[in-house]
Structure 1
Amino acid sequence: MQEVIIGILFLAALFFMGRKLYRQYKAKDSCATGCEKCSPSSSKDFKMPEHLRN
């Protein structure tokens, strides 16, 4: 019975680790959590400062 419980816990841990890795590489504009709090806004234009232009 103990082996079954350990096996279930191990499979659950593998599932959550795999899901985290999948979300990390799937996400384009946000972090691995998928909450979209830290994603940059797409409507904001970036302007290069004058002293950095060639």
Structure 2
Amino acid sequence: MATCPILDGCYTQGKTVDEALENIKEAIALCLEDLKEDEIPDTNSIFIGQVVV
């Protein structure tokens, strides 16, 4: 499962990690299409990282 927490309801899944990543790119694009310009969240203070357990 892949999600974009900054965009409410923006999530997807895939049979593989690569497929889920491709799907979330498409889901993000679709979610952004539905937002007005002033509704797009500010992402300047977002930390992006990966944790391996």
* Both proteins in one fold, TM over 0.5: no
Interval containing the TM-score (normalised by the shorter chain)? 0.3 to 0.5
- Larger Cα-atom Rg: 1
TM-score by length of 2: 0.39
Higher helix share: 1
Q: Which has the higher contact order (CA 8 A, sep 6+)?
A: 2
Greater share of residues in strand: 2
Q: Structure 1-normalised TM-score?
A: 0.39
